[in-house]
Chain A
Amino acid sequence: MSETSTDPGYLLEAIGIVKRFGDFTANDEVSLSLRPGTIHALLGENGAGKSTLVKVIYGALQPSGGELRWRGRPVSVANPAAARRLGIGMVFQHFSLFDALTVAENIALALPGAFDREALAARIVEVSQEYGLPLAPDALVADLSVGERQRIEIVRCLLQEPRLLIMDEPTAVLTPQEADQLFVTLRRLAGEGCAVLYISHRLEEVKRLCHHATILRHGRVTANVDPTQETAASLARLMVGADVHEVRTEARESEDAVMLAVSDLTLPAEGPFGVRLHDISLEVRTGEVVAIAGVAGNGQTELFDALSGERLAPAEASVALAGMPCGGQGITARRRLGAAFVPEERLGHSALPSLELSDNVLLTRHASDAEMVHAGFVDRPRTREVSERVVRAFDVRTSHPNPQASALSGGNLQKFVLGRELDRSPRIVVINQPTWGVDAGAAALIRQALIDMARAGAAVLVISQDLDEIFEIADRIAVISRGELSGTHAANSIDREGIGLLMAGAHETGAASGERAP
């Protein structure tokens, strides 16, 4: 690739990219420049706008403003096919492979035009060996490991001889050994002049692999740095922001009763994208808000399911609610112990879009509210009454008194879902991503409601990715990373940098806790 190596210019420039979804600005004047032959990291927390930016580059989203330049010339990338024609390949975090087909068939499906089976198989073997990505063309995808499946995706891109390869959190699904092997491949590609845009939130990895790093926070570029010259701590600060936050917490009385106790909870991963939970211990007492921070996909959903009883624990004692061991008991039994749960996903999990609000009340309260069901028959006036009470108390904006849940906006539905649980006056509240995809007004109301609940004597556990939110409401903070939970820190004894280090896995190696702030 002598042509590119003598070209001093940029391969790709993104200039002032803006992408809005309704009122939400996912990318705000984001600029990024890539040279051929470099590995360029795109760092940021989940929701910082990394995925949006690469989707714009890959043509999967159209920008609301700004410009893309490819080798100095302005281009508009109408769709992923156009991106591939330019020479941009992308490996997504979640693979698009058919389990029942072979490696070669899966690759053939993605190639434009006609192809020759034999020749293709030979090419696959050739390319995969050349780049240290061993693959058997005749193997069935169903029989392959996650790492091998990722190789198919990479080889699929390499067959089209890309000049820019975008990798979306490639190591999230890999073992450390598989990750090392991947780094060898990526360095080799860069050595040949291909540019790699590497999305990650793993700081050590970025320091090891990447030549440049662009850091995003809340949709804006906060820094362009050379990661080899930075420490993990300084990268973390750039990622999570260094602005001093006014922390408001009163230290709680330590003799308050423990309402939620998790002890040595270990659960294996479910499915290729599941996260195992390892040796998790945690206590939440009456009157306090404990927050679990962490980047999405590090075991939050698994932990929530284990707490709610949607997934049972092997040992009865690993989860205790209100002093009662209940690891092997389902969600109904746990609700009867006074616990309330609000999962991350609203549609199809905490609420049924096609059902009216009153039926959505019945969904979680049929067993915990004695008066809602009489001899197997549903008391409809009662469910409506509760539904209307929740709508009033939590300022849920509805077009008519009892609409289907699907007619509510995200924020209004979340207010309703939370209100439905808090209306029971639970003693324990477990909530996952309380304000995910919720407008600012509703988010403020939801956070206030959680604080009020705790002050009224409930034990509140909040799992959230939003550090601003966590510092606003939490008394104590723990961090989850790859299914392991750090110790808890009083909110006024830890800062964002400390949390950022824990997020990047500083506690995983066995270190009891992350760096404490002075």
Chain B
Amino acid sequence: MRLWLEQRPERSRAMSVISPLIAIALTVIAGAIIFAASGLDPLRALFIYFVEPVTTLWSIEELIVKTAPLVLIGVGLAVCFRANIWNIGAEGQLTVGAIAGASVPILAPHWDSFLVLPLMLLLGTLGGMAWAAVPALLRNRFGVNEILTSLMLVYVAQYLLDWLVRGPWRDPGGYNFPESIEFQAWQSLPTLGAGRVHLGALLALIAVALLFVFMARTLKGFEIRVSGEAPRAAAFGGFSRSRTVWLCFGISGGLAGLAGICEVAGPVGQLQPSISPGYGFIAIIVAFLGRLNPVVVLLAGLVLGISYLGGESAQIVLGISGKTTQVFQGMLLFFILACDTLIRYRLRFGRRPGAGTAGAEQAP
């Protein structure tokens, strides 16, 4: 008697819905064990981590502020990953997007026009696209693995930002702090309502809607899905792989850049050495938890948003390390990837038919 995996004839649709829920449940259970091992009451700790952040209006607004960039980036990555193209460098594209967009208020601080903000958003998007174009070009021209190049460019982007805010773009009246000038009202995103929720949340919703229709209804979306699933079939269908690489890096890089400028023109309000708590990386988890489906990505973004808020409140209330956030995020990704096996396979107990030779059996 033993446990083994049997391949399903078709991908299980039920399991692709249930799998992320199992993953979340396993993450909570594992989290409880970690809390208990740290000498905390696991139930209270979980309550503070997962429930308290959504009990007050203030914290719900804060959740939306955190979720907006995750969704904006995650929805682009979902498209990219669908094509089996691994843009791991959204954090860098976010950073360059922020720099490109912020160049307007920093280089022309007194230009007050209704054009300023749209121009910032446009430049932010283009900046992210440009940064994403580098791995796309290297991949298409030289066959370089895009996982490595996109990831390494994150650090290049972060040093570029660091140099700018410590050097040429430092606020002259800023007491030598490594920060740019603070943006004025016309250089910042309008808030929705009285709180901190800003236009970025709306942009995220629009991106979700557009990409949902794009993936589900258009030939290009079909092309992306086919290209990821079976490159040979995509070529047989007449779809160019390099065109797909360009398109996917363009979409995901552009949205990451947009998220970047929305952060600095929104909650951050200026350029700083650090403008994102790893949104570009956590959006990878959002994309997977969201089944690479734009609409589900929205829900997944909320889950990961809670993990940020919960981490902060656990740090304050329980006095545990802020790294707990990353532990939870990492466990969640791990459990999602493990549970996704169940979409293609089902668990079986007992003897395997034709044990010992089953692996070698194949048609002649």
Report chain A residues within 8 Å CB of B229: 352, 354-355
B233, A348: Cβ atoms under 8 Å?
A: yes
**Interface flags, A327-370, vs B, CB<8A=1, else 0:** 00011100100000101010011111011000100111011000
- How many residues on chain A are close to B (CB under 8 Å)? 45
A366 to B235, CA, bound (A): 13
Asked if A21 is at the interface of the complex by the 8 Å CB criterion, the answer is: yes
The residue from A24, A363, A376, A407 contacting B10, defined by CB atoms under 8 A apart = A407
B356, A79: Cβ atoms under 8 Å?
A: yes
Asked if B237 is at the interface of the complex by the 8 Å CB criterion, the answer is: yes
**Interface flags, B104-141, vs A, CB<8A=1, else 0:** 00000000000000000000000000000000000000
B238, A331: Cβ atoms under 8 Å?
A: yes
B219, A377: Cβ atoms under 8 Å?
A: yes
Report chain B residues within 8 Å CB of A351: 233
A308, B220: Cβ atoms under 8 Å?
A: no
B357, A61: Cβ atoms under 8 Å?
A: yes
A193 to B229, CA, bound (A): 51
Asked if B351 is at the interface of the complex by the 8 Å CB criterion, the answer is: no
A376, B218: Cβ atoms under 8 Å?
A: yes
B233, A366: Cβ atoms under 8 Å?
A: no
Asked if A47 is at the interface of the complex by the 8 Å CB criterion, the answer is: yes
A403 to B11, CA, bound (A): 12
B219, A373: Cβ atoms under 8 Å?
A: yes
Report chain B residues within 8 Å CB of A24: 363-364
The residue from B10, B225, B238, B361 contacting A61, defined by CB atoms under 8 A apart = B361
- Give B202-220 interface residues, CB cut-off 8 Å to A: 217-220
Asked if B323 is at the interface of the complex by the 8 Å CB criterion, the answer is: no
A407, B9: Cβ atoms under 8 Å?
A: yes
B217, A377: Cβ atoms under 8 Å?
A: yes
Known: A21-B363, A406-B10. A352 touches B219 (CB 8 A): no
A349, B364: Cβ atoms under 8 Å?
A: no
Report chain B residues within 8 Å CB of A47: 364
- Give A5-56 interface residues, CB cut-off 8 Å to B: 21, 24, 26, 47, 49, 51-52, 55
A366, B236: Cβ atoms under 8 Å?
A: no
Report chain A residues within 8 Å CB of B238: 330-332, 335, 364, 366-367
A51, B10: Cβ atoms under 8 Å?
A: no
- How many residues on chain B are close to A (CB under 8 Å)? 25
B222, A349: Cβ atoms under 8 Å?
A: no
B222, A61: Cβ atoms under 8 Å?
A: no
User: Nearest Cβ in chain B — how far from A340, in angstroms?
Assistant: 12
A352 to B10, CA, bound (A): 12
A310, B233: Cβ atoms under 8 Å?
A: no
Nearest B residue (CB) for A349: B232
Q: What's the count of A-B pairs with C-beta under 8 Å?
A: 90
Report chain B residues within 8 Å CB of A352: 226, 229-230, 233
Asked if B360 is at the interface of the complex by the 8 Å CB criterion, the answer is: yes
A61, B360: Cβ atoms under 8 Å?
A: yes
Known: A352-B226, A407-B10. A376 touches B220 (CB 8 A): yes
Known: A61-B361, A366-B219, A437-B363. A350 touches B233 (CB 8 A): yes
Most buried by A among B218, B363, B364: B364
Asked if A404 is at the interface of the complex by the 8 Å CB criterion, the answer is: yes
Report chain B residues within 8 Å CB of A62: 354, 357
User: Nearest Cβ in chain A — how far from B233, in angstroms?
Assistant: 5
User: Nearest Cβ in chain B — how far from A437, in angstroms?
Assistant: 7
Report chain A residues within 8 Å CB of B232: 345, 348-349
A378, B218: Cβ atoms under 8 Å?
A: yes
A363, B233: Cβ atoms under 8 Å?
A: yes
B10, A404: Cβ atoms under 8 Å?
A: yes
Most buried by B among A51, A52, A352: A352
Nearest B residue (CB) for A362: B222
User: Nearest Cβ in chain A — how far from B82, in angstroms?
Assistant: 12
Report chain A residues within 8 Å CB of B225: 355
A378, B356: Cβ atoms under 8 Å?
A: no
Most buried by B among A51, A78, A343, A363: A363
Report chain B residues within 8 Å CB of A173: none
Nearest B residue (CB) for A330: B238
B364, A378: Cβ atoms under 8 Å?
A: no
Known: A349-B232, A404-B10. A366 touches B237 (CB 8 A): yes
The residue from B11, B218, B226 contacting A363, defined by CB atoms under 8 A apart = B226
Report chain A residues within 8 Å CB of B357: 61-62, 78-79
A351 to B232, CA, bound (A): 10
User: Nearest Cβ in chain B — how far from A13, in angstroms?
Assistant: 22
A335 to B217, CA, bound (A): 23
**Interface flags, B148-172, vs A, CB<8A=1, else 0:** 0000000000000000000000000
Most buried by A among B10, B11, B232, B236: B236
Known: A61-B357, A310-B235. A349 touches B230 (CB 8 A): yes
A377, B226: Cβ atoms under 8 Å?
A: no
The residue from B219, B233, B237, B361 contacting A378, defined by CB atoms under 8 A apart = B219
User: Nearest Cβ in chain B — how far from A42, in angstroms?
Assistant: 14
A404 to B13, CA, bound (A): 12
A292 to B185, CA, bound (A): 74
User: Nearest Cβ in chain A — how far from B183, in angstroms?
Assistant: 37
Nearest B residue (CB) for A403: B10
Nearest A residue (CB) for B218: A376
Asked if A190 is at the interface of the complex by the 8 Å CB criterion, the answer is: no
Nearest B residue (CB) for A383: B222
Report chain A residues within 8 Å CB of B361: 21, 61
Asked if A172 is at the interface of the complex by the 8 Å CB criterion, the answer is: no
User: Nearest Cβ in chain B — how far from A113, in angstroms?
Assistant: 21
Asked if A174 is at the interface of the complex by the 8 Å CB criterion, the answer is: no
A21, B364: Cβ atoms under 8 Å?
A: yes
Q: Given contacts A341-B236, A363-B237, list 18 more A-B pairs with CB under 8 A.
A: A21-B363, A21-B364, A47-B364, A52-B364, A79-B356, A79-B357, A308-B236, A310-B235, A331-B236, A331-B237, A345-B232, A349-B236, A351-B233, A359-B222, A366-B222, A377-B218, A378-B222, A380-B217
**Nearest 9 CB-CB pairings of A with B:** A332-B238, A348-B230, A363-B237, A26-B364, A52-B364, A60-B360, A331-B238, A349-B232, A373-B219
28 contacts between A and B (CB under 8 A): A24-B363, A24-B364, A47-B364, A55-B360, A60-B360, A61-B360, A79-B357, A331-B235, A331-B237, A332-B238, A348-B232, A349-B236, A350-B236, A351-B233, A352-B226, A352-B230, A355-B225, A359-B222, A362-B222, A376-B218, A376-B219, A376-B220, A377-B218, A377-B219, A378-B217, A404-B10, A404-B11, A406-B10
